[in-house]
Amino acid sequence: MGNGTQEIGVASVDLKEAVSVENVLLGMGGGKKKDALEALFAFCVRSGGLSPSQLKAALSGIFKREKVGTTGLGNGIAVPHVDVEGLKEPLVALGVSPKGIPFESLDGEPAKLILLILSPAEDVSLRRKLVAQFCRLGRDPYFVGSILDAPSPKAVVDILRSEL
């Protein structure tokens, strides 16, 4: 744009921009995967980025996705994701569970960091980019430990942004 500002398209968004203090849930218990996903979806609704009608479709989509194959990637991380019709920008919610949540992870271990990614259905490449960024971070035991030890959602966001 000619006025010195850059128009931000959906494809330009990365995890550093998508994560926010309002969408970090610390201290998730060791309950069921379904309960954890519903809690993370509730954060996305409260942020105003997901309408009630989109919520219903997104929940259905995420549970169908989990039946096809787990999004529990191992090393204590899970990245459940779904494309949502009509979503203007990606929404993410990060759940932190020191006890871990059974997520049928590839290594059989519970997920301690669960990043829910809701992305516009019109841009599949964006979802892939966000998943890849978090997976790269999740391979680093120092990063995972730092997030698990973070005292506040702000600290979680600061750690995540410093690593990207």
3-state SS record for 147-164:
HHHCCCHHHHHHHHHHHC
Measured distance CA(129)–CA(131) in Å, rounded:
6
From start to end of 15-123, where are the E strands?
24-25, 72-74, 77-78, 81-84, 91-101, 111-120
Please write the tens of the pLDDT for every residue from 46-55: 878 888 889 9
CATH of span 18-163:
3.40.930.10
Position with higher pLDDT, 60 vs 9: 60
Please give the model's pTM, rounded to 2 decimal places.
0.86
> What is the β-pairing status of strands 77-78 and 72-74?
antiparallel
pLDDT of residue 12: 55
Residues 6+ apart with CB under 8 A from 88: 10, 120
Give 6's DSSP letter.
Answer: P
Any idea which residues carry the catalytic annotation? 81
pLDDT confidence tier of residue 19, bands split at 50, 70 and 90: confident
pLDDT of residue 134: 84
pLDDT of residue 2: 37
Percent helix, strand, coil in the chain, to 5, is: 45, 20, 35
Q: What is the mean pLDDT of the chain?
A: 85
Cβ-contact 120, 132 below 8 angstroms = no
Please write the tens of the pLDDT for every residue from 71-118: 998 889 999 999 898 888 888 999 999 999 999 998 999 999 999 999
